[in-house]
Structure 1
Amino acid sequence: MTPLDYDFLRGFLKSRSGLVLSNDKQYLIESRLMPIVRKHGMTGIGDLVQKLKAPGAESLAAKVTEAMTTNESFFFRDKTPFDHFKEVMLPAMLKARAAKRHVRIWCAAASTGQEPYSLAMILKEMGAQVAGWRFEIIGTDLSGEVLERAKAGVYSQFEVQRGLPIQMLLKYFVQNGDQWTISPEIRSMVHYRTLNLLNDFSALGQFDIVYCRNVLIYFDQPTKIDVLNRTARITAPDGYLLLGAAETVVGLTDSFKPIADRRGLYAPAVKAPAAAPAAAGKVFAVAGGRPV
């Protein structure tokens, strides 16, 4: 790969996904893109670059972008964000939304679905506490391929062993050989759609809780600021934003403020403008602890 090819791919990936690569990541590009090169019978990265520059390369461009996107995820990842959900966000929402009994949750960069399904299992475990409530969980990701996996809800033995309590595994999954399929009642609680955070996402409507973890770390500062400010505009004034352990709003935006003693958890700092009407998605109601 020539320096010019690398510079092109760096610019291409930043414009397509927000991914910022330093000067020494040639090995990463080669390791992730060579399978595409071989699959399409190309001679090397240079050949791939030339095809990306040619008209009508959108399908190839999408494959390259998805190949470079990190899709690391596992159930109840890092534990703390889910403790915040149970101990802070849900109690506050159950009180604040008592009149309408409707809560909207957005999991940005949902990858293969472990995060939204973890939230769905927490809600399911609450049973009578949320009887009669409607919860809408939207999972989005840049990669359509990983979202297809999320929709299927099928995971390997290795994947279900990463963070998932054994009781929940036995309760909400069915084993088929070395594969585990999440139950239809949990799968039906989450709606997925393809979404690039660099694009306008106001049509998603307003959310009470937003999980946007381990995404901002791949963006440059202007992109982080832009995504955070646009997220603030679709977060309810009394809602919440949850970021990854290595991410923060401090020094980037005044739209959110940290919540004391709750690492990674933020609240809108000022009242945001009214968001667009909620986009249609799966909504599940809980009656006696079961979806209806």
Structure 2
Amino acid sequence: MTEAEFEALRVFLKSRSGLALSPDKRYLVESRLAAVCTRFKIDNLSQLVREIRAGRASALEKATIEAMTTNETFFFRDKAPFDLFQDVLLPKYLKERAATRRLRIWCAAASSGQEPYSLAMILKEAAPRMPGWHVEIVATDISTEVLEKARVGVYNQFEVQRGLPIRFLVKYFKQVGDQWQIAPEIRSMVDFRYLNLIEDFNRLGQFDIVYCRNVLIYFDANLKADVLRRIAHVMAPDGALLLGASETVLGITDTLTLDPAHRGLYAKTAPAAAPKKLAVGIG
């Protein structure tokens, strides 16, 4: 693959997925796309680039984007965002939404489902405190392959050992051979949908809580600002956004404000008060 071909791939991936690859990531492209070449019976990466430039193979384009998508996730990843949900956000919204008994949660870039399922298990544990509540968890991702895995809810031994408390494994999973399938009542709590974050997502509706963790790090500054602005737009006025531990809105957008008491938690920035007019007397 020549430098020009690598640059063409970088442009293609950024325009179609938002992924901003630095020049030193050529090795990553070559290693991940080798499997795509094998799958589509393509001789080499140069031919793959030619096929993409021709624009005739949508399946190949989709496979190329999915191969370059990072799907690292595990149950209760980083723990703190889930403790925050259980101990701070859920009690807050149980009180503030008592009249409607409705709560909407969005997990953006949900990958193979461990994040939304972790939230679903917390909610299942809280069910005795929530009679009559309607809670919707919408989980989205750009990869149809990982979304299908998420919908099935089957995980191997390594995946259930990463962060999942043993009591939840025993309570909410059934062993099937050497795999573990999450219980139907947990799977039914999550609505998995395809979504590309660089595209409009207003159709998803308004959310009380948004998890968008460890995805903005792959975007450039302009796209980060755009995605954050649009996330703020679909948040309820008192909504909450949780970002990854290494992510921030500082210096990127003023539509969201950090909660000083909780790392990684953001609220919509309150609109500035209109300046008061001075009264002018006429004597």
Q: 2:40, 2:60 within 8 Å by CA — same for their partners in 1? A: no
Q: Secondary structure at the match of 1:210?
A: strand
Task: Tell me which residue corresponds to 1:172.
Answer: 172
Note the residue ranges of structure 1 that are not aligned, 5 or more in a row.
272-292
Query: Percent same amino acid among aligned pairs?
Result: 61
Q: What is the letter of the counterpart of residue 41 of structure 1?
A: K
Q: Answer whether contact 2:257 2:269 (CA < 8 A) is retained.
A: yes
Structural mapping, 1:57-68, within 5 Å: 57-68=57-68
Per the alignment, residue 145 of structure 1 pairs with 145
Measure, in 1, the Cα distance between the counterparts of 2:241 and 2:39: 40
Secondary structure, counterpart of 1:135 in structure 2: strand
Give the Cα–Cα distance (whole angstroms) in 1 for the partners of residues 55 and 80 of structure 2: 46
What does the per-residue CA deviation read over 1:147-170, in whole Å, with 9 as the maximum and x for residues that have no partner? 000000000000000000000000
Aligned equivalents of 2:254, 2:2: Cα separation in 1? 42
1:54 and 2:58 are equivalent in the alignment: no
Tell me, in whole angstroms, the C-alpha distance in 2 between the residues paired with 1:62 and 1:262. Answer: 38
Mapping of residues 241-256 of structure 1, within 5 Å: 241-256=241-256
1:139 partner letter: A
Distance 2:191 2:243 in 1: 21
Deviations 1:177-211 (A, max 9, x none): 21000000000000011000000000000000000
Larger RCO of the pair (alpha carbons < 8 Å, separation 6+): 1
Opposite residue 252 of structure 1, the aligned amino acid is: I
1:16-165 → structure 2 map (5 Å cutoff): 16-165=16-165
Number of the residue aligned with 1:268:
268
Query: Secondary structure at the residue paired with 2:74?
Result: coil
SS at match of 2:137: strand
The CA distance in 1 between the partners of 2:15 and 2:208, in whole Å, is 29
Q: Distance in 1 between matches of 2:80 and 2:261?
A: 12
Query: How big is the shift at 1:127?
Result: 2.8
User: What secondary structure does 1:24 align onto?
Assistant: helix
RMSD of equivalent CA atoms: 0.8
Shifted more, 194-203 versus 34-43: the winner is 34-43
Q: Residues of 2 paired with 1:21 and 1:55: CA distance?
A: 21
Q: CA separation in 1, counterparts of 2:95 and 2:2?
A: 59
Superposed CA offset, 1:52-106 (max 9, x none): 0113221110010000000011000000000110122111111110000000000
Q: How many residue pairs end up in the alignment?
A: 271
Moved beyond 6 Å, runs of 4+:
none
C-alpha distance in 2, partners of 1:141/1:64?
Answer: 15
Corresponding position of 1:182:
182
Match of 1:286 in 2: none
**1:270 Cα deviation (Å)?**
2.8
Q: Greater Rg, structure 1 or structure 2?
A: 2
Q: C-alpha displacement at 1:229, in angstroms?
A: 0.2
Is residue 5 of structure 1 aligned with residue 27 of structure 2? Answer: no
Separation in 2, partners of 1:253, 1:156? 39
C-alpha contact 2:101 2:132 (8 A) present in aligned 1? yes
Corresponding letter in the other structure for 2:138: I
Asked if the contact 2:147/2:192 (under 8 Å) is kept, the reply is: yes
TM-score, structure 2 length as denominator? 0.94
Give 5+ residue unaligned stretches, structure 2: 272-283
**How far apart, CA to CA, are the structure 2 residues paired with 1:21 and 1:240?**
30
- Match of 1:242, SS? strand
Distance in structure 1 (CA, Å) of the matches to 2:105 and 2:209:
5
